[in-house]
Amino acid sequence: MCGRYATARGRQEIIDDFDVERDTTDALEPDYNVAPTKPVPLILTRDVRELHVARWGLVPSWAKDLSIGARMINARVETVHEKPAFRRAFVRRRCLLPADGYYEWYAREDGGKQPFFIRPSDGSMLAMAGLYEIWRPDREVGRGGPGGRSGSVGRDGLVGSDTEESEEEWVLTCTVITTEATDDVGRIHERMPMLVEPERFGAWLDPALSGPDEIRSLLVPAAAGSLEAYPVSTAVNKVRNNGPDLVKPLPEMGISSNETPTLF
């Protein structure tokens, strides 16, 4: 999976679709061009199911600074339970990342790359399987450390705690678990986000479920035919570009038949 996706649904729609019981967000701005280190909506369970805002790019608790997060936006499902940066979160800190869809770039024979937007064919939201971590900068980094309001948390590791310390001293970060792409989208890119079906939300988010094999059994690739892909403007290539035009389909255009069978 490349490092871009779109999350533009309203806060109430996310709350309703994911049965959120506690909303910790001040506001959720639509973002049609989510890139590494940007704030994203995240759903997790403590006593109840909660909606938070996190920084995309997992920062392990032992990291010296936030910069490592830019390289930790994805975790491969094949090895996530083994990698030092992810294995503890896989057992104890799993989350869901709502998305309208995600972008991938198809490499053409002429050397160029065409962006495609991949989304549920029924218009629903994606529930991408994710992991989260809670990171605190060293005190010498300074109060109100890196990250600002987006993805900042309190003393107990999450927004909303009653504390005298600045909530900006803690940062909530996340990563997306990826898997091999299904045939629907595999002709564009070999990887895709691992998705969680609604009937498995509760088990996936349950922090009491800690057996790696049992956890892995909850993850299945997207069902055949459940996703659609179409080409979009190369404006998405620049992070500063945003807005609904980025996910608007281009005129009739498929993957050339002399390169690989068309998807369209």
Residues 6+ apart with CB under 8 A from 150: 38, 39, 53, 55
Sign of CA dihedral 37, 38, 41, 47: positive
Q: Contact 113/105 with Cβ under 8 angstroms?
A: yes
The question of whether 2 is a catalytic residue gets the answer yes
Token pair belonging to 256: 């050339």
Q: Which of 50, 104, 133, 228 is catalytic?
A: 104
Residue 174 designated active-site: no
C-alpha closest to that of 125 among 184, 55, 197: 197
H or E, element range at 204 = helix 201-205
The H or E element that residue 12 is part of is: helix 11-17
As annotated, the active-site residues are 2, 104
